[in-house]
Amino acid sequence: MWWQRWPYWADRAAMAWAVTYTGFALACALTGTPLLHLGGAPGASALDWGFTAVGALAVLACGAVVRYGPRPAVRGLLRVVCALAGIAAFGLLMDVITLVFGQGVDSAVAAAHHALAAVGALLLAATAQSGRRPAAEAAVRAPSAASRPVQLAACAGTAAFLPYAGMKLVWVSGGTFAGVSGDEMLAVSRRNGASGIWLTLESWGLDGTVLLAALGVFLLWGLVRPWGQVFPRWTPWLRGRRVPRWLPLAPAFVGAATLAPYGVFGIGYTALCTAGVVTMRRGDFHASGDALLVAWIGMAAFAVYGAALTAAARSYWLRTRPHRVVPSHRPVTEG
């Protein structure tokens, strides 16, 4: 399969991406189209020149790989640009969620930038590893579970969503939490332009974010248990086959890169609000204390789950790497 030969084409694909990304960012910078949106508000268009510089640096690094190969210094530069591209892709998960539920993104250009940067981060990471081609034959590892600490982290990530899910289910069932009733929360969703899919789910007593949290927990345990490496018996037509590594790792890396920093910085801001250093805005709540309570529940869930997902993804990556098998050369005896 073509994707199994990625060490041989990753550098050229990364070079093509770098040229495309640089041109895209430069065009936005010249036309004054902001690539950064924060909370629905467009950022400064001058920041586009920074993204253009990242693209130019990527062109330089990828060109060096194509010309000289992935030498140690070039590999280090690739990792730096990969990290910058990953930062530029922040917000991709939120874009995907809004599109899944039929809502429009804040900016089509910003969403395209997130997707393009995420593709670049993957290609740059692959290019940085492409020079390490095993000389020996590679063998697939047997399915295995993650270590006990990683599984405990998965338990913590699962438990962190329980208060969040309980809060959301109280609202969709018509109850009151943090001084806000379910009817008030439904009115807020309509006022904020919630899609028909979202409102239909709420009318059925389901919350979209709770469903996504359930999928996230399913992904988390698939990363730490053996059934995440081989399709289990309850999957028709696929049972017994190996799960492609990219299938769980792609959403895991996107989710971890989004939720972990979002939750950590959110906890920091919420802690400052609790200490009285800054003031928590009421938003759609009747009092700042109510908004603070909801913020603690949400940010704690995102931070703990994001950290658990990071640990689980790393464990899955290491446990599913093909290991090298050095063939034994035994002397041939005649007889």
Q: Read off the pLDDT of residues 67-83 as tens digits, 9 standing for 90 and up.
A: 887 788 888 889 899 88
Q: Read off the pLDDT of residues 180-190 as tens digits, 9 standing for 90 and up.
A: 998 888 888 88
DSSP, residue by residue, 166-210 = HHHHHHHTT-EETTEEHHHHHHHHHHTT--HHHHHHHHTT--HHH
Residue 135's pLDDT band, with cuts at 50, 70 and 90, is very low
Above 70 in pLDDT, residue 327? no
Beta strands 176-177 and 180-181, pairing class? antiparallel
Q: Give the end of a domain, one of 78, 99, 133.
A: 133
Percentage with pLDDT > 70 across the chain: 90
Q: Give the end of a domain, one of 133, 159, 192.
A: 133
Report the Cα 202 to chain-centroid distance in Å: 26
Give me the sign of the Cα torsion angle 164, 170, 173, 178.
negative
Residue 329 covered by a domain: no
Examine the domain organization and report whether 197 and 72 are in the same domain: no
Residue 141 covered by a domain: no
Above 70 in pLDDT, residue 330? no
Phi/psi of residue 135, nearest 5 degrees: -75, -30
Q: Which residues have a Cβ under 8 Å from the Cβ of 77 and sit 6 or more positions away?
A: 57, 60, 61, 64
Question: For position 136, what pLDDT does the model report?
Answer: 47
Domain that holds residue 22: 2-133
Examine the domain organization and report whether 156 and 121 are in the same domain: no
Residue 175's pLDDT band, with cuts at 50, 70 and 90, is very high
Question: For position 15, what pLDDT does the model report?
Answer: 93
Above 70 in pLDDT, residue 131? no
Above 90 in pLDDT, residue 102? no
Mean pLDDT estimate for the chain? 85
Residue 37 covered by a domain: yes
Examine the domain organization and report whether 45 and 169 are in the same domain: no
Coil vs helix vs strand at 242: strand
Model-level pTM?
Answer: 0.79
Examine the domain organization and report whether 15 and 102 are in the same domain: yes
Whether residue 128 contacts residue 79, with contact meaning beta carbons closer than 8 Å, is answered with yes
DSSP, residue by residue, 21-65 = HHHHHHHHHHHT----EETTEE--GGGHHHHHHHHHHHHHHHHHH
Q: How many domains does the chain have?
A: 2
Examine the domain organization and report whether 84 and 173 are in the same domain: no
Question: For position 75, what pLDDT does the model report?
Answer: 86
Residue 18 covered by a domain: yes
Question: For position 162, what pLDDT does the model report?
Answer: 95
Examine the domain organization and report whether 99 and 182 are in the same domain: no
Question: For position 69, what pLDDT does the model report?
Answer: 79
Examine the domain organization and report whether 27 and 168 are in the same domain: no
Percentage with pLDDT > 90 across the chain: 39
Residue 143 covered by a domain: no
Above 70 in pLDDT, residue 128? yes
Residue 127 covered by a domain: yes
Examine the domain organization and report whether 18 and 98 are in the same domain: yes
Examine the domain organization and report whether 207 and 308 are in the same domain: yes
Examine the domain organization and report whether 196 and 81 are in the same domain: no
Residue 309 covered by a domain: yes
Residue 335 covered by a domain: no
Q: Read off the pLDDT of residues 296-317 as tens digits, 9 standing for 90 and up.
A: 999 999 999 999 999 999 999 9
Residue 335's pLDDT band, with cuts at 50, 70 and 90, is very low
Q: Read off the pLDDT of residues 281-294 as tens digits, 9 standing for 90 and up.
A: 888 888 888 999 99
Examine the domain organization and report whether 181 and 271 are in the same domain: yes
Q: Give the end of a domain, one of 98, 133, 168.
A: 133
Question: For position 94, what pLDDT does the model report?
Answer: 82
Examine the domain organization and report whether 122 and 182 are in the same domain: no
